[in-house]
Amino acid sequence: MTFTEHESIESAAQKPILEAIGLSKHFGIEAGLFQRRKPPVQAVNEVSLSVRRGETLALVGESGSGKSTLGRLLLNLLNPTSGDVIYEGRNLANLSPEKLRQVRRELQIIFQDPFASLNPRMTVDSIVGEPIWLHSDASRSDRQARVAELLRTVGLAPEHAGRHPHEFSGGQRQRIGIARALASEPRLILGDEPVSALDVSVQAQVVNLLEDLKHRFGLTLVIVAHGLAVIRHMSDRVAVMYLGEIVELSPVNELFESPLHPYTQALMAAVPVSHPDLRHPRPLLGGDMPSPRRPPSGCRFHTRCPHARPLCKEVKPPFVAVDAERQVACHYWREIANAGAGTLVVPTPSAAYTQRLNLFKSHQALSLESQP
């Protein structure tokens, strides 16, 4: 699909804040004088994608699908092998170092492991205050006041400013990471698996915090996640990645109601359910992901796809528009969807189970309401 076609799919009213155009990142291209030249690792391959202003876009896929690399390319933390990143209509490759510094301030990241991403020798005051010190000429007292305000914003007490990261729990450390990201007044935040290193009980609190901050500060969020369960309640659209390419792009509700690509369907089958009656009838994804150094010919998913046919091995499926909002890269998506294989077949639960489920939901709602 050409970029012009890609553009026409995007609603004119929802002008993108960030765009990737034919973005590729191949690692290990250079070889030493006496080294045998190995094929490069194709971490991201020819990805075109728009991030709309104010939305939460999730990048989902197994480990090695290229989602984190794509996130870092979007934030200009990695240089692309080819392709462009356009932020607010400006090509990042053409910006001067000074302009790029300003843009980097507006594009922030929250890392997966809050302990590894915070300097253990620095106090919270220095960690959160550093971006303010770097990007503004605020006085020391103004900076301290701003740090206190940011700590309150993420649910921490200003008195914690003098402590070190090891004195906090995992959830609190992630809140410090969020406060630091907010310190430079960003417009877009990339969450690189922001809750996967946290206890399940704390994950919901951090997800709720990100949602709240998004609405309060008009942020755009890009969330990288390896499972669909986490992003269901916090994203507007989902881009599913396999072996460095986007195979399906869809609004989140449509994706969960009727996943079109066989890979999305397999990911969906892996979402944990709360009762055996709701278990998914489809088998989980088998086999390992092929090496990104030697990706399969044609459709990269054909070595694991239960619907693969000879054409899939020969011809790469185009990333076609299913409707104004959805795109998929599969030769047979229509057939698979019409045959019902693309829909989630959930057996009707028993009346007793429904009653227990409703009871559980009401308890859950009560406990969430009582959370600070």
Q: Which residues bind ligand SF4 (CB under 6 A)?
A: 261-262, 299, 301-302, 305, 307-308, 312, 317, 330-332
In residues, how long is the chain?
Answer: 372
Which is closer to ligand SF4, CB of 251 or CB of 296? 296
Query: CA-CA distance, 197 to 118, in Å (whole number)?
Result: 14
Minimum distance between the CB of residue 263 and ligand SF4, rounded to whole angstroms? 7
Which is closer to ligand SF4, CB of 81 or CB of 343? 343
Which is closer to ligand SF4, CB of 6 or CB of 307? 307
Do 244 and 45 form a contact (C-beta atoms < 8 A)? yes
Minimum distance between the CB of residue 328 and ligand SF4, rounded to whole angstroms? 9
Minimum distance between the CB of residue 91 and ligand SF4, rounded to whole angstroms? 32
Minimum distance between the CB of residue 37 and ligand SF4, rounded to whole angstroms? 30
To 5 degrees, how large is the angle CA 53–CA 50–CA 180?
55
Do 239 and 49 form a contact (C-beta atoms < 8 A)? yes
Minimum distance between the CB of residue 319 and ligand SF4, rounded to whole angstroms? 11
Four-point Cα dihedral 159, 107, 57, 67, nearest 10: -100
Minimum distance between the CB of residue 335 and ligand SF4, rounded to whole angstroms? 9
Which is closer to ligand SF4, CB of 55 or CB of 248? 248
Query: CA-CA distance, 188 to 75, in Å (whole number)?
Result: 9
Closest by CA position to 192, among listed 63, 43, 28: 63
Which is closer to ligand SF4, CB of 230 or CB of 299? 299
33 CB contacts (<8 Å, ≥6 apart)?
none
Query: Which H or E run includes 341?
Result: none
Minimum distance between the CB of residue 367 and ligand SF4, rounded to whole angstroms? 41
Which is closer to ligand SF4, CB of 193 or CB of 248? 248
Minimum distance between the CB of residue 331 and ligand SF4, rounded to whole angstroms? 4
Is 117 in a helix, a strand, or coil? coil
The CA-atom distances, in angstroms, between 294 and each of 82, 169, 263, 307 are 19, 42, 19, 22
Which is closer to ligand SF4, CB of 151 or CB of 289? 289
Which is closer to ligand SF4, CB of 24 or CB of 265? 265
Closest by CA position to 251, among listed 266, 240, 262: 240
Long-range contacts of 128-133 (CB under 8 A, 24+ apart): 128/161, 128/176, 128/179, 128/180, 128/183, 129/183, 130/180, 130/183, 131/105, 131/180, 131/183, 131/184, 132/183, 132/184
Which is closer to ligand SF4, CB of 168 or CB of 301? 301
Minimum distance between the CB of residue 81 and ligand SF4, rounded to whole angstroms? 24
* Straight-line distance from the first to the last Cα atom of the chain, in angstroms, rounded to the nearest whole number: 48
The number of beta carbons lying within 10 Å of the beta carbon of residue 151 is: 21
